């Protein structure tokens, strides 16, 4: 784990994407017992309908927050003004006593540099529970502690649409290992996930998977929240 300074008994937000890394970071930070996680912070598209990073619908993100038992703060933004809007959102959280931020980055130095710089500028302690961990260890832990997730987006230069809807499980890991140019955790944006169950949730999030859409060289799986089954492909 990586953090700056003392973090005992601090109130924190988590930078929330709805995917596997942010979920595992939440799980580890919570179990550490040194911070009290109070809010999920998600950066959304300009219309507020979807997560800026993963394309997950806001209704499903709210369902995740409800299942966790926390409030989710969504901030509308473009990529161009992402940092500005992120800072504004955190400034508002600081008024409620937030002193630390939790991030799910693994080892991309430019991501850590951004986190360190921005958190320093807004007087927030950064916590990266997954930092420098081995990919296979993270994936196995994610599965072993009971998280459930599916692939909802892929970079078409690495993975085609057939990967959409696949569960994060042992066979998924084995198939990814056979592709030498793909990061096992998708750290370079090869794929993104939606987590619908796990140890941080009080209930399973039920949804239906719909059409697969190609946009800007990325495949996206449309999901719809429902009350009947876990998911249907």
pLDDT digits 0-9 by tens, 32-64: 888 999 999 999 989 988 888 888 999 999 999
pTM for this model (two decimals): 0.93
157-203 confidence digits (pLDDT tens) = 999 999 999 999 999 999 999 998 999 999 999 999 999 999 999 99
Backbone angles phi, psi at 140, to 5 degrees: -65, -40
Question: 2-128 domain in CATH 2.60.40.2130?
Answer: no
Q: Can you give the residue ranges of every domain in the chain?
A: 2-128, 136-225
* Residue 231: exposure state from Cβ atoms within 10 A (0-12, 13-18, ≥19): buried
- Decide: 145 and 199 in contact? Cβ < 8 Å: yes
Whole-angstrom distance, CA of residue 72 vs CA of residue 95: 16
Q: Do domains 2-128 and 136-225 have the same CATH topology?
A: no
The CATH architecture of the domain made up of 136-225 is Alpha-Beta Complex (3.90)
Backbone angles phi, psi at 92, to 5 degrees: -65, -35
DSSP, residue by residue, 8-51: TTEEEEEE--SSHHHHHHHHHHHHHTSEEEEEEEEEE-TTSSBB
Scan for tokens 């990266």, then name that residue.
128
């Amino acid at each position: 784990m990586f953090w700056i300074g003392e973090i005992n008994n601090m109130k924190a937000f988590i930078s929330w994407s709805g995917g596997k890394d942010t979920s595992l970071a939440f799980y580890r930070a919570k179990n550490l017992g040194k911070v009290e996680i109070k809010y999920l912070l998600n950066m959304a598209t300009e219309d507020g309908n979807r997560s800026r990073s993963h394309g997950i619908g806001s209704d499903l993100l709210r369902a995740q927050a409800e299942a966790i038992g926390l409030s989710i703060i969504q901030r509308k933004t473009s990529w161009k003004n992402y940092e500005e809007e992120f800072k504004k959102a955190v400034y508002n959280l600081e008024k409620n006593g937030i002193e630390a931020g939790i991030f799910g980055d693994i080892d991309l130095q430019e991501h850590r540099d951004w986190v360190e710089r921005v958190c320093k500028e807004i007087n927030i302690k950064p916590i990266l529970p997954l930092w420098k961990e081995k990919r296979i260890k993270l994936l196995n832990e994610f599965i072993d502690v009971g998280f459930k997730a599916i692939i909802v987006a892929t970079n078409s230069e690495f993975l085609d649409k057939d990967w959409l809807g696949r569960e994060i499980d042992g066979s998924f890991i084995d198939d990814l290992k056979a592709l030498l140019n793909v990061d096992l955790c998708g750290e370079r944006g090869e794929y993104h996930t939606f987590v619908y169950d796990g140890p941080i949730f009080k209930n399973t999030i039920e949804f239906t998977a719909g059409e697969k859409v190609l946009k800007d060289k990325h495949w996206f799986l449309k999901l719809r929240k429902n009350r009947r089954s876990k998911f249907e492909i």
